[in-house]
């Protein structure tokens, strides 16, 4: 499987160019924030930074130093690492950590050197700058998604390994937005298609991998498993990838695990991988609950005019209650009454069983009725823009629900859960969740469950913020998948 330089694929290192764009963007954002701060917020007529053990420094010079340290923190925390930019929450987490480190560094230096530095740099410039840095990364991601939709700025990938494991990876990637992976097919031990799939092409055998990489201009290879590959053969394939400057990615047998839970643990020269377990207890649970109380309380106050407008619209269609309360299953199986604006005719629940039987989905834990005849005209508008869900802010404030989490389901649906699905009940249900912002009502139960379990197994505060941000975008632009 040797290759010469001429046989290497003409690889476009778009990840490096994209990271370079982020570098320039970060510099521009930091500079703009500090310039605006210097003009509007920097205190004093003399505009000097004074400290007992050193010379007076012009304020603008101090801001340049802070900007340079800020940029250096972004670099130290690998916020522009080619492996994390453009997808997932790790990029945002690293930007937040870098900005937090800058905050702590300034406090420490100012305290020990007794530097007279304005507090506004800490409570205004750095928080605003951190938000703008993350917003700029999001804007770049929107641009990247548009490029990828046209077939540009993508990794051309083959998946190598046992067919069923390889197909699982392919289907998972195809069902996830924004991976940046264009999977050309899979490579199996013998290259024969044991279980044909119309969407997944078997390109050949392990012995043909080099030719396949050259022919398909592959720049990344995912090894789905190495069960049938002896160490010597695996090493030989690795050398062939290195000769072609192709990235090698190894998928662990335990899938649906986020990057922060995976840790390298070399033992006796073996590249072992250790999986840590997510924990939502102690301080993290208190922080999530505090965020829920503050967020739901503020939203109830700010959205009170919207509540009034919705109630007027419901009344315009005739008499009946404004609100609808339905029994749902919460954390650890505890029952509670979930509140919604009424979007259906009165006593609509009496017709649910017959409608589910008619469409043949009564045995599925995701009770959605296609083209539901019970929904009122006003209700269709409320549902399209998720306005019927707003009263659940009361459930969040009370502690029955969280702003983000798996959507709560009826007891009859939970009764259909298998052991895997029951893990949804380990966390509080949420007003919005990962599958709602990934496809809303268009996802089937298997995909919805996969995303909910991913959330449960990989919870992080940053992921909650990203989901809420994507929720706002999904509500403003609901598309055709909102029911």
Residue-wise pLDDT for 185-211, tens only, equals 888 877 666 665 557 788 888 888 888
**From CA 46, how far away is CA 29, in angstroms rounded?**
26
**In terms of domains, do 325 and 381 share one?**
yes
- Alpha-helical segments (H) within 362-460: 377-384, 392-398, 411-414, 434-438, 445-457
pLDDT of 399 higher than 90: yes
* Residue 257 falls inside a structural domain: no
Residue in the block written with tokens 């996802």: 443
pLDDT of 272 higher than 70: no
Query: What pLDDT does residue 6 have?
Result: 41
* Residue 273 falls inside a structural domain: no
**In terms of domains, do 18 and 43 share one?**
yes
**In terms of domains, do 287 and 176 share one?**
no
Average pLDDT on 316-325 reads 85
**In terms of domains, do 313 and 454 share one?**
yes
**In terms of domains, do 208 and 340 share one?**
no
**In terms of domains, do 232 and 292 share one?**
no
**From CA 244, how far away is CA 292, in angstroms rounded?**
50
* Residue 265 falls inside a structural domain: no
**From CA 140, how far away is CA 129, in angstroms rounded?**
16
What band does 25 get if pLDDT is binned at 50, 70 and 90?
very high
**In terms of domains, do 317 and 451 share one?**
yes
* Residue 268 falls inside a structural domain: no
Domain boundary among 122, 149, 176: 149
* Residue 210 falls inside a structural domain: yes
Neighbouring C-alpha atoms within 13 Å toward the C-beta of 295 = 20
CB of 169 closer than 8 Å to CB of 250: no
CATH number at residue 245: 3.40.50.720
pTM: 0.66
Domain of residue 224, residue span: 154-251
* Residue 9 falls inside a structural domain: no
* Residue 336 falls inside a structural domain: yes
**In terms of domains, do 68 and 137 share one?**
yes
No. of helices (H) and no. of strands (E), the chain: 17, 13
**In terms of domains, do 38 and 141 share one?**
yes
* Residue 167 falls inside a structural domain: yes
Query: What pLDDT does residue 300 have?
Result: 94
Q: How many domains does the chain have?
A: 3
**In terms of domains, do 191 and 297 share one?**
no
**In terms of domains, do 178 and 191 share one?**
yes
Average pLDDT on 76-84 reads 87
């Amino acid at each position: 499987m040797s290759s010469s330089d001429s046989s290497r694929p003409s690889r476009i290192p778009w990840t490096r160019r994209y990271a370079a764009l982020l570098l320039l963007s970060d510099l521009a954002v930091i500079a703009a924030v500090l310039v605006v701060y210097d003009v509007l917020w920097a205190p004093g007529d003399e505009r000097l930074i004074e400290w007992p053990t050193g010379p007076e420094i012009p304020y603008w010079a101090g801001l340049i130093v802070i900007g340079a340290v800020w940029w250096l923190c972004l670099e130290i925390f690998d916020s522009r690492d080619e492996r994390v930019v453009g997808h997932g929450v790790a990029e945002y987490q690293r930007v937040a950590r870098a900005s937090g480190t800058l905050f702590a560094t300034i406090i420490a230096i100012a305290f020990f050197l007794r530097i007279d530095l304005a507090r506004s740099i800490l409570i205004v410039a750095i928080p605003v700058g951190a938000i703008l840095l993350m917003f700029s990364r999001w804007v770049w991601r929107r641009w990247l998604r548009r490029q990828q939709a046209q077939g540009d700025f993508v990794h051309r990938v083959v998946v190598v390994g046992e067919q069923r494991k390889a197909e699982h990876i392919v289907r998972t990637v195809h069902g996830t937005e924004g991976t940046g992976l264009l999977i050309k097919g899979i490579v199996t031990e013998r290259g024969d298609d044991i279980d044909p799939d119309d969407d997944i092409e078997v390109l050949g055998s392990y012995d043909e991998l080099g030719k396949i990489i050259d022919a398909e201009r592959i720049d990344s290879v995912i090894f789905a498993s190495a069960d049938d590959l002896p160490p010597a053969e695996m090493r030989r394939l690795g050398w062939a990838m290195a000769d072609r400057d192709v990235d090698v990615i190894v998928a662990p047998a335990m899938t649906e695990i986020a990057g922060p839970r995976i840790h390298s643990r070399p033992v006796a020269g073996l590249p072992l991988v250790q999986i840590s377990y997510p924990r939502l207890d102690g301080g993290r649970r208190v922080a999530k609950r505090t965020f829920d109380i503050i967020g739901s309380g503020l939203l109830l106050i700010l959205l009170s005019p919207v509540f009034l407008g919705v109630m007027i619209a419901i009344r315009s269609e005739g008499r009946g209650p404004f609100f609808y309360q339905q029994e749902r299953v919460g954390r650890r199986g505890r029952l509670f009454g979930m509140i919604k604006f009424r979007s259906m005719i009165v006593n609509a629940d009496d017709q649910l069983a017959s409608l589910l039987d008619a469409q043949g989905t009564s045995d599925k834990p995701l009770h959605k009725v296609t083209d539901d005849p019970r929904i009122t005209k006003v209700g269709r508008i409320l549902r399209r823009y998720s306005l019927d869900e707003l009263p659940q802010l009361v459930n969040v404030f009370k502690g029955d629900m969280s702003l983000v989490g798996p959507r709560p389901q009826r007891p009859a649906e939970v009764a259909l859960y298998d052991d895997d699905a029951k893990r949804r009940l380990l966390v509080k249900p949420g007003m919005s969740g990962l599958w709602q912002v990934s496809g809303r009502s268009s996802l089937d139960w298997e995909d919805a469950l996969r995303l909910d379990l991913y959330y449960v197994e990989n919870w992080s505060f940053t992921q909650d913020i990203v989901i809420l941000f994507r929720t706002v975008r999904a509500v403003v632009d609901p598309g055709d998948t909102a029911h």
